[in-house]
Chain A
Amino acid sequence: MRARRFGTVIGLGVLCAVLWALTPHFLTVSNLLNVAQQTSINAIVAVGMTFVIVSGGIDLSVGSIVALSGVVLGALLQGGQPLAVALAAALAVGLGCGLLNGALVSVGGLPPFIATLGMMSVARGAALVFTEGRPVSGFDEGFRSLATGAIGFVPAPVVVMIGVYMAAHVVLTRTTFGRYVYAIGGNEEATRLSGVAVRFHKTAIYGVSGVMSAIAAIVLTARLNSAQPIAGTMYELDAIAATVIGGTSLMGGEGTLAGTLVGALIMGVLRNGLNLLGVSSFLQQIVIGGVIVGAVLVDTVLKRHRV
């Protein structure tokens, strides 16, 4: 476990060193803050994904929930609602979608892939219907400071990301809920026979994922100064990639948020570096795909030797 986490950190270090050697712009404070800021949204979504994958599931609907939460938020802000009400509504939308996913999986007995695939389409459709396909743009300074503000020199999105990671890490490692996430992913029947309310907790796990999507939606909307019904497309794949690069097993039962954060940073640094190097966005996709497969391959080989 420790050796593997170390492996991804080394991978991130090597990646940074290579980029530093190739382009002087990479290792500047402003660029690094930029990377952290760009990474923050995927990293926040990946927190929820980590909960779900550790519990043995998958959540394909995160990107669509980002869009739906975002447009609800945008519409309420433009309608003149107080910031607190709009934020609460966005979080409630995320939570509701997540809980619905969870109920379909745990009570309805659907495979997580199918339940969240359905939600992926329904939430996206709902976002498009709600906005009639048009973006909701232009918000006041107060709300936008969630993206443009900073504490000291740390940009607000990065502050949010760090806060989310610290809170989620405590939940995953120090609470009964966190224990049950690992136990359910490791052996659901044994966990049930130990008297754990498996259905309740599974539902809650997808709820966490929905809330994380909503938080990501808030940061994204503030950053773009616009809520778009087509936002968040493919976010599920980035979040799964960050989680898996971070050493979480798709079989469930193991994984850490520290790993996921490093995984998200690897993806962010790679994108940023390829941009700085002027690599075309078409070619970038090939490189990123290769890195995802390569990282997991190394992990799998290491695991095989560990026995």
Chain B
Amino acid sequence: MTPVLEMHGIRKAFPGVVALDGVDLTLHRGEVHMLLGENGAGKSTLMKILSGAYRKDQGRIVVDGKDVEIQSPRDALALGIRVIYQELNLIPHLSVAENIFLGAAPTHRFGVIDWRRLSAATSQLLTDLGMNLSPDTPLGQLSLAQRQMVEIAKALKGQASILVMDEPTSALTSREVDQLFALIARLTERGVAIVYITHRLDEVYRIGQRVSVLRDGRRVTTQPLSDVTVAELVRLMANREVGDHFPKQRTTPGKELLRVEGLGRRGALSDISFCLRAGEVVGIAGLLGAGRSELARVIAGADRSDSGTIQCDGQATNFRTPADAIRRGIGLLPEDRKAEGLVAGLTVARNTALPHGRRLARSGFLPRGCEERLAEPIVKDLRVKATPTQEVRLLSGGNQQKVVLGKWLAGDAHIFIFDEPTRGVDVGAKIEIYNLMNRLTASGAGIIMISSELPELLGMSDRILVMCRGRIRAEFSAADATQERVLSAALGLAS
């Protein structure tokens, strides 16, 4: 049987980087093909070439045995290629049906929408896909997983033969993940070929048949998953043996750095109390919407609290702005680094120097090269794959995260808030981040770590606080914490 897609010798270069250097990929009807690789390995670039977002420099693309030129997203759509990105492109005020058929709704004469046919067509499509959704529900009332289903339904209307999913489960609960995987199984039965990009290795074996690993713009391997172990995959991606996933080094807790008492913010947080000592990692667990990021933002001065107090180094504080918190030595690595962590159009050095303008400047003027001199050792130390004069938008996700870290390392921060520090970051970079956390605690800093990955939280924390609906439900020492106990507290069950 001819493969539904063959990509041969795909090459793509950007100024200063060869993103793809002769990559091949073959896709069969009805298979789930896992695409793995570190950040910056070339996965996204390859998929953007397939979807018409980028144009390849060299190589051939064959769809259903015919050579094709994909010049634009339109060409890709016409060939039955669909991509579901991490960020959903839906309109909350419109109904499920309107979203699915946006711009393609059945009409009467003169372009008036035929609501009856629209509703019928949507029901038909949703039933076909085994989705239990009503066409008339406003999208805004749906959960994230349901919205993702709508996005998939939208992608699959018309003739879709290839579906690319980029980390579809990163924001889903485990039950929602089950629903998604059931849907994927139904799609493959209908002959749809799926390219699935993920950093979660457990998912790879649950749904995948074959796997391709990219590294530094080249394909390292393609093989059936039955022939390859997790350890081998990790080694192929990182090209270095990963012994211990969590290289945690414990330090004896020192003096108290941060004390939070009865902190509250209407609709988000109530009665939060805890403390953080020097040398300690305090993990914060909880489901989406439990108030973890809200807590991080209040401590970092990004949002105001309604009640309660925050003490830094034994002194009462009142953060009105992020600048107040930074002055007290607090550094936030926000959950969404593109939206809150970095200015994409500025260089690595200028991003690094952004919080330190006042210190670097001589009566308002920045001495020539002062930002580069500040960033240079940090870029080297964190092994950011970039020069200080490169624009941040050209960096991969893992390297961008390092730049956000570098912003605070360039100052005198000693209370760090890591909000999902390893989300969308590859295995190798994850370990670098863990080692860095060790270095920080060894030097007397304290870390608050928010993470949705329980193994990471259990592996790296000295203590774990579990949040549920804006409150702290439970606290565990590293020795007492198990995935089951943390999870049941996060779900609000009695432990």
Contact = CB atoms under 8 A, between A and B. Distances in A.
B345 A253 contact: yes
A192 B54 contact: no
B361 interface: yes
A134 interface: no
A196 B345 CA distance: 17
Interface residues of B, number: 33
B302 interface: yes
Given A193-B300, A194-B322, A197-B323, A183 B366 contact: no
Contacts of B14: 307
B321 A195 contact: yes
B407 interface: yes
A246 B355 CA distance: 30
Nearest to A176: B357
B340 A186 contact: no
Contacts of B104: none
Given A182-B343, A190-B339, A197-B321, A177 B354 contact: no
Nearest to B324: A195
Contacts of A280: none
B363 to A, nearest CB: 9
B357 A196 contact: yes
Nearest to B407: A194
A193 B332 contact: yes
A9 to B, nearest CB: 21
B326 A187 contact: no
A186 B323 contact: no
A74 to B, nearest CB: 34
A174 B326 CA distance: 24
A193 B345 contact: no
Nearest to B341: A190
Interface string B98-120: 00000000000000000000000
A192 B302 contact: yes
Interface in B329-356: 332, 334, 339-346, 350, 353-355
B157 interface: no
A176 B364 contact: yes
A167 B54 CA distance: 41
Contacts of B340: 189-190, 193
Given A175-B365, A177-B364, A193 B334 contact: yes
Contact of B366 (A179, A194, A195, A254): A179
A56 B14 CA distance: 27
A180 B332 contact: no
Given A192-B302, A195-B321, A175 B343 contact: no
Nearest to A253: B345
Given A177-B364, A195-B321, A197-B323, A254 B357 contact: no
A254 B355 CA distance: 20
A21 to B, nearest CB: 37
A179 B342 contact: no
B339 A176 contact: no
A145 interface: no
A169 to B, nearest CB: 13
Contact of A190 (B342, B357, B360): B342
B255 interface: no
Interface residues of A, number: 22
A195 B334 CA distance: 14
B358 interface: yes
A192 B357 CA distance: 13
B354 A183 contact: yes
A180 B322 contact: no
B322 A190 contact: no
A204 to B, nearest CB: 12
B331 to A, nearest CB: 10
Contacts of A182: 343, 345-346, 350
Contact of B339 (A179, A180, A189, A195): A189
A179 B350 CA distance: 8
B357 A187 contact: no
B347 to A, nearest CB: 10
Nearest to B55: A307
A253 B343 contact: yes
B355 A195 contact: yes
Given A183-B354, A192-B302, A175 B364 contact: yes
A34 interface: no
A176 B370 CA distance: 11
A278 to B, nearest CB: 45
Contacts of B322: 192-195
A199 to B, nearest CB: 9
Contacts of B346: 182-183, 186, 253
B339 A187 contact: yes
A180 B343 CA distance: 11
Interface in B280-323: 300, 302, 321-323
Given A182-B345, A253-B345, A194 B364 contact: no
Given A192-B302, A196-B357, 16 more contacts: A183-B346, A186-B344, A187-B339, A187-B342, A189-B340, A190-B342, A190-B354, A193-B302, A193-B322, A194-B322, A195-B325, A195-B326, A195-B327, A196-B355, A253-B343, A253-B346
28 contacts: A174-B365, A175-B365, A176-B357, A179-B353, A179-B357, A182-B350, A183-B346, A183-B350, A186-B343, A186-B345, A187-B339, A190-B341, A190-B343, A192-B302, A192-B321, A192-B322, A193-B341, A194-B326, A194-B354, A195-B323, A196-B323, A196-B354, A196-B357, A197-B321, A197-B323, A253-B346, A254-B345, A307-B54
